[in-house]
Chains A and B, each alone.
Chain A
Amino acid sequence: MAEAGTAETHGAHAHDAHHEQGFWSKYIFSTDHKMIAMQYMFTGIVMALIGGYMSYAFRMQLAFPGQSVPGYGLVSQGEYNALVTNHGTIMIFWVAMPMLIAAFGNYLIPLMIGADDMVFPRINRLSYQIFLVSALVLIGSLFVPGGGFGGAWTAYPPLSSSAEYSLTPLGSTLWLVAVALEFVAFLLGGINFITTLMNARAPGMKMYDIPMVLWMIVVASVLFMASVGPLIAGAVMLFMDQVVGTGYFDPGRGGDPILWQHLFWFFGHPEVYVVFLPAIGIVAEIICTFSRKKLFNYKLILYTVFATAIISFFVWAHHQFVAGIDPRMANVFTITTLIISIPIAEMIFLYIATLYGGSIRLTTPMLWALAFIAEFMIGGITGIFLGASGSDIYFHDTYFVLAHFHYTFFPIAIIGFLAGITYWFPKMFGRMMNETLGKIHFWGTIAAFNSIFIPLFILGTAGQHRRIYNYQNFPDLADMQGLRVFATTALLVMLAFQAVFLFNFFYSMFKGKPAGKNPWKANTLEWTTTSPPPHGNWAELPNCYRGPYEYSVPGREEDYWPQDVPPDTAPAE
């Protein structure tokens, strides 16, 4: 079955490569997976800049309460809430998701499996178009009367379901519509990813020959599709509560606000792994290439991925320990939460073990990949404090939580993206990025990032709670202002360093050194076509003869062995 499907897709697309494309069909209404990946990526970068600007505005308010923020103005209480709410929403749903899953998924899946496009190119185009609409609706929701939604990205009712309480009648509804549209876009994308990986692989590419990043993206897509259903049901109910006045979450009319929390977190916790897996998959590719090593125990890593994915469905209520659930439930969810730490820790160990015996080159992408491991470990271990019910009674909804998840999401969304973009930039644009600028950007970002969030761990431990626009209102918290100013200053430094990246990115796109087909001497199939790949990807589609990580194989002169090189052309031993 798979064989026949593969042959068919290969044949059908051979013609497309020769079509002349006009501006509209090439850039705007393209069905080419590479162009759709670019659309997702650039939209993601724009949204990241908007989300970053929001963090600038509210961090300035926290450090210098009540003063006009340069480039923003005065931050009112309502605006502060809208800023933190939409910062979170944007960074997760409109930055992490499009950049990691959609951009890299679209770009890499066909190229790494030796296919000329996705199997459903038009669904792919529709997916991006819906995504773009969702982004516009979200941005629009900030400018309607009453202002943007300010009920936190978790949108707990009754605050989110009732305009009387939230005072943002249009803002909350548009926010919800935007999030729902975004889910539709990713459902369409996910179907495409899974089908393509399963059916369109190059002849000879067996299950264990698939590059790890693709496994991770596809497992993430399956996770997303399996978990998003309950949330969409919840979103419909919430929408009905807001617009029609039903009482699904209104205790006064037989509803239950806690129901939303279960539906939300049943999706919300797997969602963490939905974005985590593609990021750590990217890291796997980079670490292997730049340590010239085979991935340490490919199968075991894959099993830890499956285990993580399955267990992630059973941990959601650890977000709700003190939310009024039956206290006995906390015991169950403490156990499942600590169980999930085992495959994740093992996965990290396996990555570290991959470095053993390597020949490590610290290029910019490698630095980002290693930084991912180093920073994510802090995020992982601080999660134990929160997964353990006893200590969560205290840490729940403090800045400790905030710092913890920024130590997971920043490595995922930002470091993961930067690792991937610096690694595949030569393939995407045919030119090399500047290494010196890349390293300046790396060290500036990493140093500043840690300087932002380590103080926030301290503030959280001292009892500072989240989503407060001015801590001077709380006498016990008021005199820790020094740490807040420090964190905000570090944020300004970090944002400033992103200018280095943007310059490097756009300058190198046009003026960088030509990259050639395979600048990193990597094995996977995307490096066997020209950079950038043509429409249709290859003049003649490649075959696959071996696994993706055959680096430094004894007896071979070269320390890499691309997947498409037939065995008989190997130098004699």
Chain B
Amino acid sequence: MLQGIYDFIKGIFEPLGDYLVGSALPVGSSFAGDIDALIALIAVMVGFWALLAYAAFFFLIFRFREKKGKKAKYVTGEEKNLKRWITYPHAAIIVCDLVIVFMAIMVWYNIKQRLPEADSTIRIISQQWAWNFVHPGPDNELDTDDDIITFNELHVQEGTTYHYELLSKDVLHDFSVPVFRLKQDAIPGRIMKGWFKPTRAGEYDIQCAEMCGIGHGIMGARIVVETPEEHAAWMSQSSTGKLASR
């Protein structure tokens, strides 16, 4: 039921979300559209009230400019007929807040609280100031001989649901992929788990979005989202390359 209501509201705001955020940055994961729609919903709700408030604000300044011989009105603001100008918007804001809370929590739940079944698991190890990525390799399992370890370059396959295990060797880092609309802090001593599902082939930025010391400004990496054929080709090339180098 809740999911149904959510999907309905999301459907209304998705095109606007696509325009507001999607035009600045590709929609690259299964949940990016949800976040964009939420942003659009908030923009419409708070935008509407802000415009009304600005209209009232500038109208009052303009309408009640000082005029010779005209005194200001004496009102305390406790009169019933005036107070409703405060109580009605107040009630409307509560309604808007409820809608925003509902939508925000649904988005959050789907992305951060729920962990859907994974097709594959990768490990991300951050350190000052670089990213190490452990891909499971052809057997699709981590910690086996055919793992593919790369440096500042993550290869994933379009349409596949990934779990990630995010680690840090030293200080806080943050695994941020703007096209996925994904962020997660990496904490030394902990393994942070999460998921994403890339939906759009291409090569995009990975950022470290948490201040991590002098080299924070160079701690970028690239994520390569490949079609299944490209991904298979990359995998066979990388595994043979690795074997050859042994």
Contacts and interface: CB of A to CB of B under 8 A. Distances in A.
A232 interface: no
A120 B195 CA distance: 58
A65 to B, nearest CB: 10
A331 B105 contact: yes
Contacts of A198: none
A74 to B, nearest CB: 14
Nearest to A394: B181
Interface in B86-115: 86, 89-90, 93-94, 97, 100-101, 103-109, 111-113
A168 to B, nearest CB: 9
Contacts of B46: 381, 384
A381 to B, nearest CB: 4
Contacts of A222: none
Nearest to B214: A78
A184 interface: no
A396 interface: yes
Nearest to A165: B171
Given A353-B77, A359-B72, A390-B105, A81 B216 contact: yes
B211 A352 contact: no
Contacts of A166: 213
Contacts of A391: 35, 38-39, 42, 104, 107
A389 interface: yes
A79 B11 CA distance: 47
A350 interface: yes
B24 interface: yes
A467 B211 contact: yes
Contact of B77 (A345, A350, A378, A554): A350
B111 to A, nearest CB: 6
Given A156-B210, A360-B61, A297 B76 contact: yes
B21 interface: yes
A357 B113 contact: no
A437 interface: no
Contacts of A354: 77
A72 B224 CA distance: 40
B34 interface: yes
A242 to B, nearest CB: 14
Interface in B178-207: 178-179, 181-185, 187-190, 192, 204-205, 207
A352 B183 contact: no
B12 interface: no
Nearest to A350: B86
B217 interface: yes
B172 interface: yes
A389 B64 contact: no
A18 to B, nearest CB: 42
B220 A331 contact: no
Contact of A356 (B64, B76, B187, B211): B64
Nearest to A381: B46
Interface in B47-90: 47, 49-50, 53-54, 56-57, 60-61, 64-67, 70-78, 82-83, 85-86, 89-90
B211 to A, nearest CB: 4
A388 B111 CA distance: 14
A318 to B, nearest CB: 11
Interface residues of B, number: 88
Contacts of B53: 348-349, 352, 377
A330 B112 contact: yes
B16 interface: no
Nearest to B34: A390
Contacts of B56: 352
B209 interface: yes
Contact of A359 (B71, B93, B106): B71
A80 interface: yes
A159 B54 contact: no
Contacts of B216: 77, 81, 467-468
A539 interface: no
Contact of B220 (A258, A462, A474): A474
B170 interface: yes
B20 interface: yes
A389 B76 contact: no
Given A292-B72, A356-B60, A390-B105, A150 B214 contact: yes
Contact of A355 (B42, B60, B182): B60
A159 B57 contact: no
Interface string A325-361: 0011011001100110110011011101111111111
B161 interface: no
A552 interface: yes
Contacts of B76: 294, 296-298
Contacts of A358: 60, 64, 72-73
Contacts, number: 291
Q: Output the residue of A390, A397, A477, A551 with the most chain B CB within 10 A.
A: A390
B215 interface: yes
B5 interface: no
Contact of B97 (A341, A462, A559): A341
Contacts of B217: 77, 80-81, 467-470, 473
A295 interface: yes
A151 interface: yes
A123 interface: no
Contacts of A257: 172, 187-188
Given A355-B57, A374-B54, A396 B209 contact: yes
Contacts of A377: 50, 53-54
A327 B183 contact: no
A159 B212 contact: yes
Contact of B24 (A338, A390, A463): A463
B211 A167 contact: no
B53 to A, nearest CB: 6
Contact of B210 (A252, A397, A398): A397
Interface string A150-169: 11101011110010011100
B39 A355 contact: no
Contacts of A342: 90, 93-94, 97
B232 interface: no
Nearest to A334: B104
A477 B179 CA distance: 12
B176 interface: yes
28 contacts: A81-B211, A151-B211, A165-B171, A292-B71, A294-B76, A324-B187, A331-B109, A338-B97, A345-B90, A345-B93, A349-B85, A352-B57, A355-B57, A362-B61, A388-B100, A388-B101, A389-B112, A390-B35, A393-B35, A393-B107, A393-B182, A393-B183, A461-B25, A462-B178, A465-B208, A467-B211, A469-B217, A475-B205
**Shortest 3 CB-CB distances between A and B: which pairs?**
A251-B189, A390-B107, A357-B73
Given A358-B72, A458-B24, A462-B25, 17 more contacts: A77-B215, A80-B217, A81-B213, A296-B75, A338-B101, A350-B77, A357-B73, A360-B65, A362-B61, A388-B101, A389-B112, A393-B181, A394-B35, A466-B209, A467-B216, A474-B207, A476-B204
Interface of B: 20-21, 24-25, 34-35, 38-39, 42-43, 46-47, 49-50, 53-54, 56-57, 60-61, 64-67, 70-78, 82-83, 85-86, 89-90, 93-94, 97, 100-101, 103-109, 111-113, 128, 170-172, 174, 176, 178-179, 181-185, 187-190, 192, 204-205, 207-218, 220, 222
